[in-house]
Amino acid sequence: MSRIESASVHVTAPGRNYVLLRVETSDGVVGWGDATLNGRELAVASYLRDHVAPLLAGLDATRIEDTWQYLYRGSYWRGGPVAMTAIAAVDMALWDVQGRTLGVPLYQLLGGASRNGCLAYGHATGESVEDLIASVRQHLADGYRAIRVQSAIPGMRDVYGVPRGGAAYEPAVRGARPTEATWDTGAYLRFIPAMFEQVRDAVGPDVPLLHDAHHRLSPREASQLGRSLEPYGLFWLEDVTPVEDQAAFRQIRSSTTVPLAVGEIFSSVWDCKTLIQERLIDFVRASVTHAGGISHMRKLLAFAELYGVRSGMHGATDISPVGIAANLHLGLAINNFGIQEHMPHPPVTSDVFTTAYTFDDGYLRPGEAPGLGVEVDLDAMDRFEYQTAYLPVNRLVDGTVHDW
């Protein structure tokens, strides 16, 4: 029997902070799990290092479901982003071990491929609508078949998703305290429909376009935005309102037919049970890294399949290549895959991570390497030290703290 020999936690920062779990078995097989929780990385590292890794040594490495239940039910304090990200890392690492032990890519253990590749969407951004349209055209030239569009808003200093001066966008900012952004809902609601009108005019009706409202609107404002965007045929409108109150989506759903995507901050199926069961959303954005790993995401998405809700897994840079690979193996295997976010990591990331997954012709593919198919260079990791970094805090024009 293959036993877990050791489990170690690694914090590294090639380009940005990542937390990884490395599991090694008595047979000498190594598996990796992603435990990165943007802006709260060290909380998960401590959860793993202080409370989980010591429990893993000696367990049967093949008992993945049992280990998941042991960590979830066995902690009594179940759920929440810190615990579920920690459990996800263990689960991913054990599936990785299983695939490597059997010499097969993980998707083969999840039922095999249901499609040829995972349709990916890229992020087009612009400090003006003209720049945004140029960015959309560049993405089309780079092979993307679906594109998220985010633009600066006249009169607002910092807008989610839009980097300044053409730099690559990275939501977390290094520094001892979070940076602060200023938000004006009225200016946003006036500008976005006009922005979509110009983008649609420029690129035609066929390109699937997405947009992320990033939790800032009330249900009534979200309904207004959704209705105003209906003429532009969006693939999805994301995170229109904070989602603690799942019932709020009844109001939005009954007011607009715009396809809705929600859930990059979900930790488990319990965060979206009502949304799915009442068909209040079209896409669920939960990811393997933040929602309990492959084992739990598989159940979450199987539940979603019953109600016609498809996957749209979070894939921003704060999900490490290990987590992205996990999303891709699962996405390739399930029937109700929708789309996968693709926000490429900066080139320095490949100093530490070598991935079997590829992006080509608009599709991400997990590759045929055994397990998750990501190699992690332990020595290189040590060259990139953790640096404190936070997501921004958002305030209204009068200084009131608002959702970011």
Which positions are annotated as active-site residues?
A: 160, 214
Q: Are 153 and 188 in contact (CB under 8 A)?
A: yes
CB atoms within 10 A of CB 186: 10
Is position 170 an interface residue for ligand KDG (rule: CB under 6 A)?
A: no
Is position 38 an interface residue for ligand KDG (rule: CB under 6 A)?
A: yes
Nearer to ligand KDG, 100 or 314 (CB): 314
Is position 214 an interface residue for ligand KDG (rule: CB under 6 A)?
A: yes
The single residue listed with the structure tokens 């939960």 is 286
Is position 171 an interface residue for ligand KDG (rule: CB under 6 A)?
A: yes
Contact of residue 323 among ligand KDG, Mg ion, none (CB under 5-8 Å per partner type): none
What minimum distance in Å lies between the beta carbon of 306 and ligand KDG?
Answer: 25
The single residue listed with the structure tokens 């989610």 is 160
Radius of gyration of the chain (CA): 21
Q: How many residues does the chain have?
A: 404
What minimum distance in Å lies between the beta carbon of 69 and ligand KDG?
Answer: 28
The single residue listed with the structure tokens 């991570």 is 353
Nearer to ligand KDG, 264 or 271 (CB): 264
Q: Which residues are 354's β-sheet partners?
A: 375
What minimum distance in Å lies between the beta carbon of 324 and Mg ion?
Answer: 15
Is position 234 an interface residue for ligand KDG (rule: CB under 6 A)?
A: no
Q: Are 38 and 391 in contact (CB under 8 A)?
A: yes
Number of residues that bind ligand KDG (CB under 6 A): 10
Is position 207 an interface residue for ligand KDG (rule: CB under 6 A)?
A: no
Site string for ligand KDG, 317-346 (x = CB under 6 A): -x----------------------x-----
How far, in Å, CA of 318 to CA of 65, rounded? 26
What minimum distance in Å lies between the beta carbon of 161 and Mg ion?
Answer: 8
How far, in Å, CA of 268 to CA of 299, rounded? 10
Nearer to Mg ion, 17 or 287 (CB): 287
50-77: burial string, b at 16+ Cβ within 10 Å, e else:
eebbebbeebebeebeebbebbbeebee
Q: Are 99 and 370 in contact (CB under 8 A)?
A: yes
Nearer to Mg ion, 23 or 262 (CB): 262
DSSP structural state of residue 404? -
Q: Which stretch binds ligand KDG (CB under 6 A): 198-206, 297-305, 312-320, 380-388?
A: 312-320
Is position 271 an interface residue for ligand KDG (rule: CB under 6 A)?
A: no
Token digits of residue 49: 């290092």
How far, in Å, CA of 190 to CA of 31, rounded? 49
What minimum distance in Å lies between the beta carbon of 212 and ligand KDG?
Answer: 5
Q: Which stretch binds ligand KDG (CB under 6 A): 66-74, 139-147, 311-319, 321-329?
A: 311-319
Is position 126 an interface residue for ligand KDG (rule: CB under 6 A)?
A: no
Backbone phi, psi, residue 340, to 5°? -125, 130
Residues near ligand KDG (CB under 6 A) are 38, 171, 212, 214, 264, 314, 316, 318, 341, 391
